[in-house]
Amino acid sequence: MTEVSVTKDATPPAGDALVALSRVNKHFGALHVLQDIDLTIARGEVVVVIGPSGSGKSTLCRTINRLETVDSGDITIDGKPLPQEGKELARLRADVGMVFQSFNLFAHKTVLENVTLGQVKVRKADKKAAEDKARALLDRVGVAAQADKYPAQLSGGQQQRVAIARALAMDPKVMLFDEPTSALDPEMINEVLEVMQQLARDGMTMVVVTHEMGFARSAANRVVFMADGRIVEEAVPDQFFSNPRSDRAKDFLSKIL
Ligand code: ADP
Ligand code: MG
């Protein structure tokens, strides 16, 4: 685990911001789902987002790769505002890899095809090179032997590891994980968390929404606690778990730990 210096609010150095949200607001009808969100994620940083159900964690992730638009505020990746449409948007989605609770693999493509397709279509990679890279990534996440199978023939843990490989194949600048282990049988959770741990150690910039507090403690540089559409508290994991400041966080932790 990388040691980070403990600053008062655990804010990373502004100069190295890879993802920056500034005063971001979003409504779903009358529901103010994101309220004045300010969040800066440094290159190489691992941020774990936790909070009660309905607090806006998924919406926050989805705004970062523009699966959701925002009503106001600014979001930049590597200093550039999010593109609105077309090829630029496709490239953004490749730059910002996303792994969902529900795997979302292409059911009618093999594992190898799942990890090859985006490289060819979006990154314009040569097919052979894309396949070689896909096989190397499948090996890295421990599912090389499944390359020619279809997703339904794999366990949930294997499918999720393929989903991670598929996102990595695009050489993302940042990876977003939205409760990647919540749909898994308990015995498969660790095999996915271990892949994520390794990714964190390798220096990937990651935003991880999870209820796996062990992962948060060991992999996160910073924990962001959300409630009712707001960032209520952020701190390094040790500080957050041993000494949460807000009543909302204390209440949340008392229920899950
Ligand atoms: P979390 O991931 O923290 O559980 P979400 O971001 O999924 O929270 O949702 C936050 C709130 O926004 C919830 O009340 C949810 O019902 C609502 N919400 C999410 N997506 C939509 C949508 N597409 N339309 C309307 N309401 C939504
Ligand atoms: Mg969610």
DSSP 55-69: SSHHHHHHHHTTSS-
Q: Which residue is closest in CA terms to ligand 1's atom 25?
A: 28
> For position 5, what pLDDT does the model report?
39
ipTM beyond cut 0.90: yes
pLDDT, average across residues 240-249: 96
Residue among 58, 61, 225, 248 to mutate when testing ligand 1 (max atoms within 8 A of CB): 58
* CA 235 centroid distance within chain: 18
Residue among 25, 26, 28, 60 to mutate when testing ligand 1 (max atoms within 8 A of CB): 28
Q: How far apart are the CA of 168 and the centre of ligand 2, in A?
A: 22
Nearest ligand by distance to the CA of 177: 2
Q: Does residue 147 carry a pLDDT above 60? A: yes
Q: 220 Cβ partners below 8 Å, 6+ apart?
A: 46, 47, 48, 208, 236, 237
Give the model's confidence band at 256: pLDDT under 50 very low, under 70 low, under 90 confident, else very high: confident
Residue among 33, 34, 69 to mutate when testing ligand 1 (max atoms within 8 A of CB): 33
Which residues line the pocket of ligand 1, CB cutoff 6 A?
28, 31, 33, 51, 53-59
Q: What is the mean pLDDT of the chain?
A: 93
pTM: predicted TM-score of the whole model, two decimal places: 0.93
Going by their DSSP bridges, the two strands 174-178 and 17-28 should be labelled as unpaired
Nearest ligand by distance to the CA of 30: 1
- Report residue 3 as tokens: 């040691």
* CA 31 centroid distance within chain: 24
Q: How far apart are the CA of 226 and the centre of ligand 2, in A?
A: 11
Q: Is 48 helix (H, G, I), strand (E, B) or coil?
A: strand
Higher-scoring residue by pLDDT: 257, 207: 207
Nearest ligand by distance to the CA of 57: 1
